């Protein structure tokens, strides 16, 4: 066995769709083709939106497809718990490290203030936090806290973080200009994805992260958090997004591409084979098991641009 540890990190707020599935397939192939293993971590920070039955269904779906994880989820393992909803005490410890470094501050901005027309935006339309609450005095903080529970942000430096993505190539972002001070914790105490994912991947021994290209722009801030927290960073492979035939993004609300519908019509090998075809991993949509695909797997066959599902493939 190699030392590669890949992972699935789904947020089970519904049944998996082809996009989620494709991500699991590539994560599995990338880890297994080099003799590694895969850990399943359930990203249910928002526990209300991700009830346990969805997580259980997801595990059953993965097993049905031949993509069961080696460790984590309900199977457990040495570095559990593997449900983010059960890891708050661990996040608290790392959050406090950032607090002790003087990097965390309360933010009282309302949603409408944040999205005001004059708020700085990045090229993908996301708002860059203007730093409105960065320099509040202790007195102002006391006054405002009496009126509104704050969320908590981390102060980022004016520094460009660059890295080489295993699939997408070089990528860089200036934290202050392209990202801004970002949330670590919501006003209700729930920790933010950016903190949880870094702590979890490091503590779970993950060495290889495979995920959708929509998270490419989260990577510089996560790399910076790894550094600030003194944790080892994994390597990253961002995969192209899978789009429906009409070019729209797949979502858990859409019926057709959800596993529930697919299961009624196809065998696991048919689903895996067709997905592998859509991703460039084989030249025809022939049925395949993940193990069969692992043999000749290469990231070079996977396109970098978004993949539109060919008409009639599913």
Task: Please report, as ranges, the residues that interact with ligand GLU according to CB under 6 A.
Answer: 9-11, 43, 197, 211, 215
Beta carbon nearer to ligand GLU, 187 or 215: 215
Beta carbon nearer to ligand GLU, 153 or 211: 211
Q: How far is the CB of 179 from ligand GLU (least distance, A)?
A: 16
Tokens of 202: 């490091």
Beta carbon nearer to ligand GLU, 128 or 215: 215
Clarify whether 37 is annotated catalytic.
no
Specify the residue for token string 């008409």. Answer: 311
Q: How far is the CB of 44 from ligand GLU (least distance, A)?
A: 9
Beta carbon nearer to ligand GLU, 4 or 11: 11
The DSSP call for residue 161 is: E
Count of Cβ atoms closer than 10 Å to residue 151 Cβ: 19
User: How remote is the C-alpha of 129 from its chain's centroid?
Assistant: 21
Catalytic one among 32, 97, 126, 252?
Answer: 252
Residues 6+ apart with CB under 8 A from 115: 127
Q: How far is the CB of 48 from ligand GLU (least distance, A)?
A: 16
| CA dist list (Å): 189 to 148, 150, 257, 314 | 13, 10, 35, 42
3-state secondary structure 43-91: CCCCCCCCCHHHHHHHHHHHHHHCCCCCEEHHHCCCCCCCEHHHCHHHH
Q: How far is the CB of 41 from ligand GLU (least distance, A)?
A: 8
Please list the active-site residues: 252
């Amino acid at each position: 066995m190699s030392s590669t540890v890949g992972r699935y990190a789904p947020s089970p707020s519904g049944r998996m769709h082809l996009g989620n599935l494709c991500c699991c397939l590539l994560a599995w192939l990338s880890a297994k083709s080099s003799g590694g293993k895969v850990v399943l971590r359930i990203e249910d920070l928002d526990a209300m939106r991700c009830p346990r039955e969805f997580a259980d269904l997801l595990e059953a779906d993965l097993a049905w497809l031949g993509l069961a994880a080696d460790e984590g989820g309900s199977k457990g393992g040495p570095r559990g718990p593997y449900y983010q909803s059960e890891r708050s005490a661990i996040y608290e410890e790392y959050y406090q490290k950032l607090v002790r470094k003087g990097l965390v501050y309360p933010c009282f901005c309302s949603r409408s203030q944040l999205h005001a027309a004059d708020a700085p935006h990045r090229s993908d339309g996301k708002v860059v936090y203007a730093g409105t609450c960065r320099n509040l005095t202790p007195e102002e903080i006391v006054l405002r806290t009496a009126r509104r529970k704050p969320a908590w942000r981390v102060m980022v430096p004016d520094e460009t973080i660059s890295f080489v993505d295993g699939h997408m190539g070089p990528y860089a972002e200036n934290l202050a200009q392209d990202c801004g001070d970002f949330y670590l914790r919501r006003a209700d105490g729930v920790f933010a994805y950016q903190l949880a994912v870094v702590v979890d991947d490091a503590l779970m021994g993950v060495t290889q992260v495979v995920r959708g290209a929509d998270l490419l722009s989260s990577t510089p801030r996560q790399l910076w958090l790894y550094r600030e927290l003194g944790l080892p960073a994994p390597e990253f492979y961002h995969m192209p997004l899978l789009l429906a035939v009409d070019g729209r993004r797949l979502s858990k609300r859409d019926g057709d591409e959800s596993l529930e519908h697919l299961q009624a019509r196809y065998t696991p090998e048919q689903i895996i084979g067709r997905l592998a075809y859509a991703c460039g991993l084989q030249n025809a949509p022939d049925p395949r098991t993940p193990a069969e695909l692992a043999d000749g797997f290469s990231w070079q066959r996977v396109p970098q641009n978004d993949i539109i599902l060919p008409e009639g493939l599913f």
